[in-house]
Amino acid sequence: MKIVILDGYALNPGDLSWDGIKKLGDCSIHDRTDPAQIVERIADAEIVLTNKTTIDRQTLSNLPNLKYIGVLATGHNVVDTALAKEKGIVVSNVRNYTGRSAAQMVFALILELTHRIGHHSQTVIQNRWAESQDFCYWDYPLIELDGKTIGIIGFGGIGKNVATIATAFGMKVMVSTRTTPQPAPEGIDFCELDTLFEKSDIISLHCPLTKATEGLINADRLRQMKNNAFLINIARGKLVVEQDLTDALNNDQISGAGLDVLITEPADPNCPLLKAKNCFITPHFAWATHASRSRLLKTAISNVESYIQGNPQNVVN
C-alpha cells in the first residue's frame, strides 16, 4: 500500500518521528509539494496525507487509485470533499489536538497587548533603563485583566479552554455560540453578538469559517466595540475584513489587535494590517507547539490505521 505525505514539514520539521506512518506501508514523505507536482507524486497512491496542499476537483479527477485522504489539520477546505465522496474516497481530519496550545497563544497575544513586554524589553537592551532617572518606567498603559470582560465567539474546544484561563485571571466571560451547551457552564454569560461586542473589553474569535461568519469583523461590528477594547483572532483570517480593522486601529476606534492568521498566508506584503497601529501579527503558529504537533501526528497515524482496518474514524465526508 503506497502512502504519500505531500507537505510534512510544517507538522514535522525534524523534531518528531514518521516511524509510525512508515510502518503502515510504502511511504513517501515530501516537505512541500508545488501544485504542478501533486498528480505526479500521488498518481499511484492509495493513501495521501495533506496539510495545506490543495486536492481540488481537477486533481481528484486524475487520481484513479486514491482511496483515502488524511488532512493533517482540523479544517478540511483544502479537499473537495463532495467529489471525494462521489468517488468513494474517505476524507478524515484531526480534531481537538491544539486546544491548550491555541488557548495559550490567545493569552500570549493578550498579555503582549496589555504589557508590551517585547517593546519594554527592547528599551532595556537599548540602555534606556540604565539611563533612567527612576527605578522603573513604562511607555504604554499597563492593564490588569482581573475584572475585565472577555467575549468569546465560538465555544468549541479552544473557546472553552480560553474561558477556563480567563476565569483563572479573574475575568468575566461572555460567549456567543450557535448552540448553548446544556447544562450551561457556571460563571459564563451566554449572549447575543450585539451584547458581546458592546460589553467586551477583549473579543476572541473561535468560530469556524462559514458563509455566515466570513467578514464577521467588519466596520459595523468594530463600531460596536469599546474604543479601549482589543481583538484577538487565531481562528481564520477571513473572519476579519482587513481594511476595516486597519481603519479602526489607525483611527483609535479600538485599542489593539493580536492576530495569528491573515486572509492570505504567507502574508501578502501589501496587507494593510502589516502597517496598522497597535497590531501584533504572528505567523499562524498557535497550533505548532511540540506537544500539539505530537498529538496531531499521533491522531493522523491512528486515522490511517483505522482506515486500513476497515473502520475509518474522524471522517468529514
Given the residues 116, 206, 221, 284, the one annotated as active site: 284
- Return d(Cα 121, Cα 45) in angstroms, integer: 51
- Return d(Cα 81, Cα 59) in angstroms, integer: 12
Given the residues 236, 242, 293, 295, the one annotated as active site: 236
Residue 14 backbone zone (phi > 0: left; psi -120 to 50: alpha; other: beta): left
Residue 75's closest CA among 245, 237, 230? 237
Given the residues 32, 57, 178, 265, the one annotated as active site: 265
For the chain, give the number of residues: 317
- Return d(Cα 226, Cα 201) in angstroms, integer: 7
Answer yes or no: 265 catalytic. yes
Between helix 99-115 and helix 117-125 the angle, nearest 10°, is 60
Answer yes or no: 284 catalytic. yes
Within 8 A by CB and 6+ apart from 2, the residues are 25, 26, 27, 28, 44, 45, 46, 47
- Output the CA torsion sign for 217, 220, 226, 227: positive
- Return d(Cα 275, Cα 283) in angstroms, integer: 15
Answer yes or no: 57 catalytic. no
Asked whether the beta carbons of 164 and 217 are under 8 A apart, the reply is no
Q: Which residues have a catalytic role annotated?
A: 236, 265, 284
